[in-house]
Each structure stands twice: as C-alpha cells, then as structure tokens.
C-alpha cells in the first residue's frame, strides 16, 4: 500500500477496508474505498442496502467496535488521520467536528430522556456553558429546525414527537456543535414521502447556513439528485462510479447505476418503457464474486472478453470532468449501450 503524498482533502478516505471476522468467514463490508470531500460540499453515497454505506460512515465516525471490525486504510479529516488515531482522540472529534444523523430517529433517541436534554447533553459535552445557556441554545436549535413552540417542546420525550419532528430534533442535536462534517445516513428512509422532502430541504438550508461538509447516504438516487454536489455509487463495498451529480445523472456510466436509475419511481412512463431494475440480489461479502463483483447480475458482462469474471475493474476516468467508473466495458461500447438502450428510457 502506497501512501498518497498529495496533501489530503478536508475529508480524504484512502483505500478504506473494513472487515468483520465472523464465524462464517470474513465479511469484507468495505474493501478498498477511496473518496474525498471538501468543506462546504455535499457528497451523496448511493447503493443498495448492504453495499457498505453505513459501515463507511461509522468508520469515519470511529464507531466500530475495535474487536469486531478490522479497519485499514486512511481517513483524513481536517488534516488528522483517524484510523490510526487513538479512540479517545476520535471521540473528542465526534459531536463537535463531525456529527451524524441516523435513519430511524425514534430508535436513535434515548426514550428516557427528553428531547431537550439530549440536545443539551451533546452541546454541553463540547461547550463549557451553564445548563441554562445550553437550554437556550437547544431551544434556538429546535426552533431553527422548525419545531413549533420549541421552548415548550423542550421537555417532551421522543415518543411525544412525530417521526418528522424527531428527525428535525436529531438534526438539531447533530448541528448543536456546528460540526464541520455532517453525515446523514438514510435520514429520510423511515419517513413519509411528504416529510422526506421537508427534511431534505432543511438539511440543504442548514448546510448552506453552517457551511458544513455533508455526506448524504441513501439507497435512493432520487434523494441525492437535487441535494448532492457529487455522487459516489457503492457496490459490494467498493466505489463503482463517482462524479459530479450532474454528470452521473446525465451520463451514468456503470450498468449498476443504470439499474439504480431504473428503480426510481417514474409516473410519466409506461412500465415497458422503463429501465429494468437490477435482477438478483446483492453479492455475498464473504465470497465476493471474482472479477467484477457485479457480473452475476450484469446484462453486459459477456461483452468484456471474459474480463468481467476474472479481473476486478478499477475506477478510471471517463472524460475529463472527474467522472470515474469501474467497468471493463470500453467507453465506446458503453456510450453505445447508453445511447441505444438506456437514455431513451431515462
């Protein structure tokens, strides 16, 4: 493993590998993932469930159990390397420099403490302020994330809140210390469609306001379509396509990405006109298929002269706008397939 000599980006993940030794074998949940994110930017990480998105985010947050997870690679955050850092060092960054929002706000909040208390706890942990000041700050935050009558809801418990309100509160909690990096792991998956949009709007607004770097994790491309600056598509613990959101949505390169786009709900088209969703199921992370991990499900694997089943494709640039893809198909062929089969149905 060679170390990149270029100065790291604000968030710079290099060749991250997270392996879980289990009784059945080693689960290679993340296996050689690299990406960067600058301050003030929003990165969307997309992939089917089980592709290693959450494991990635927890690695950044340092929330894996040391004994359960074998982590290698580098995670630079603001110039500090986290994988090799002591757990206490990383803990001090949590909540303050980096914060996280989880999928299910009901289970993610402690049922026995009031919403206000939980925000105050996060705030006071990193700020030496009186309880009263912390409370004031918490009420402000609750108000900012759109909780009506924030002051009086302060003492309510999570179960008194609706799902959307809870997620707002979670966001307030995550933002309480003005983090430089905010990771939102499926922040809207557990919410109603109408509420989803509101929460996404809120995140975007706040991101602009706080100027944090944001990672939005989702299995749903639609969520990141308008929110993200850049998109990283994950499959089987690796990045298989990455590029600016515009580029990825305009000219998706990877057959898997095409499939993801195909699973987006479209109301304006007949069923037969739509892209086929991806057949089959996500790969085993213990026995990852040789070659391209996606080949058992790929409709074009026979067009690669057998490479797909033998050689693992690395990310390589497509064009000059930083768009990269990990697929053995030649650019021309891919363009041809895209133009003929995919674009008409997008």
Partner 1 sequence: MAIYIVRRLVAAVILLLIVTAAVFAIFFLVPRLAGATPEDLASRYVGKTADAEQIHVIAVKLGFTDPIWVQYGRFLKGLVAGADYSTGPTTVHCPAPCFGYSFLTQNPVLPDLLDRLPVTLSLAAGAALIWVVAGVATGVVSALRPGSIFDRAAMGVALAGVSLPIFFTGLLSLAVFSYALGITAPGGSYTPIEDNPFLWAYDLLLPWITLAFLYAAGYARLTRAGMLDTMGEDFIRTARAKGLPERTVVVKHGLRSALTPILTIFGLDLGLLLGGAILTESTYSLPGIGKYSVDAVVNNDLPKVLGVVMVGSIFIILANLVVDLCYAIVDPRVRYS
Q: Which residues bind Mg ion (CB under 5 A)?
A: 54
In terms of residues, how long is the chain?
Answer: 346
Closest approach, Cβ 106 to partner 1, in A, equals 9
Which residue's CB is nearer to Mg ion, number 16 or number 150?
16
Mark 162-201 as b/e (b = at least 16 C-beta within 10 Å): ebbbbbbbbbbbbbbbebbbbbbbbbbbbbeeebbebbbe
Q: How far is the CB of 155 from partner 1 (least distance, A)?
A: 10
Evaluate whether 179 touches 207 at the Cβ level (below 8 Å). Answer: no
Cα–Cα distances (Å) from 289 to 227, 235, 300, in that order, read 33, 12, 16
Contact between 93 and partner 1 by CB under 8 A: the answer reads yes
Of residues 54 and 118, the one with the C-beta less far from Mg ion: 54
The nearer residue to ligand SF4, 42 or 297, going by C-beta atoms, is 297
Answer for the pair 235, 28: CB distance below 8 angstroms, yes or no.
Answer: no
Per-residue binder mask for ligand SF4 (CB under 6 A), 288-307, x = binder:
----x-xx--x-xx--x---
Among 27, 328, 338, 342, binds ligand SF4 (CB under 6 A): 328
| Residue 71, beta-bridge partner list | 18
Segment interacting with ligand ADP, rule: CB under 6 A, options 22-30, 34-42, 244-252, 310-318:
22-30
> 54 or 251, CB closer to Mg ion?
54
Binding of ligand SF4 at residue 8 (CB under 6 A)?
no
Nearer to ligand ADP, 49 or 149 (CB): 49
Dist. CA 219–CA 225, nearest whole Å: 12
DSSP type of residue 276: P
CA distances from 1 to 15, 44, 186 (A): 9, 27, 32
CB of 236: closest distance to Mg ion in angstroms?
A: 14
**Which of 255, 253, 187, 172 is closest to 220 using CA atoms?**
187
Applying CB under 6 A, which residues contact ligand ADP?
20, 22, 27, 29, 47, 49-55, 68, 285
Applying CB under 8 A, which residues contact partner 1?
58, 61, 63, 91-96, 99-100, 102, 104, 107-112, 114, 121-122, 125-126, 157, 159, 170, 173
């Amino acid at each position: 493993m060679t170390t990149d000599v270029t100065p790291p980006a604000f968030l710079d993940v290099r060749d991250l590998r997270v392996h879980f030794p289990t009784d059945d074998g080693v689960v290679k949940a993340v296996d050689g993932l690299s990406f960067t994110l600058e301050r003030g930017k929003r990165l969307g990480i997309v992939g089917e469930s089980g592709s290693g998105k959450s494991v990635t985010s927890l690695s950044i947050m340092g929330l894996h159990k040391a004994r359960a997870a074998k982590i290698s690679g580098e995670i630079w955050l603001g110039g500090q390397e986290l994988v090799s850092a002591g757990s206490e060092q990383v803990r001090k960054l949590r909540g303050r420099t980096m914060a996280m929002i989880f999928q299910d706000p009901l289970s993610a909040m402690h049922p026995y403490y009031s919403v206000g208390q939980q925000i105050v706890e996060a705030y006071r942990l990193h700020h030496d302020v009186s309880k009263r000041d912390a409370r004031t700050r918490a009420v402000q935050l609750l108000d900012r994330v759109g909780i009506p009558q924030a002051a009086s809801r302060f003492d309510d418990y999570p179960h008194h809140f609706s799902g959307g309100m809870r997620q707002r509160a979670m966001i307030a909690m995550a933002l309480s210390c003005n983090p430089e990096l905010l990771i939102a792991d499926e922040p809207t998956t557990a919410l109603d469609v109408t509420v989803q949009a509101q929460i996404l709007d809120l995140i975007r607004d706040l991101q602009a306001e706080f100027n944090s770097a944001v990672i939005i994790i989702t299995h749903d491309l639609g969520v990141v379509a308008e929110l993200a600056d850049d998109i990283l598509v994950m499959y089987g613990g690796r990045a298989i396509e990455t590029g600016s959101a515009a580029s990825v949505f305009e000219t998706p390169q990877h057959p898997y990405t095409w499939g993801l786009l195909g699973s987006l709900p479209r109301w304006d088209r007949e069923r037969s006109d739509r892209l086929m969703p991806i057949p089959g199921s996500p790969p085993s992370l213990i026995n990852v298929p040789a070659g391209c991990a996606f080949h058992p499900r790929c409709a074009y694997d026979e067009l690669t002269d057998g490479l797909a089943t033998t050689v693992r494709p690395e990310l390589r640039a497509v064009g000059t706008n930083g768009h990269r893809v990990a697929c053995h198909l030649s650019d021309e062929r891919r363009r041809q397939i895209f133009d003929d089969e995919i674009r008409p149905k997008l």
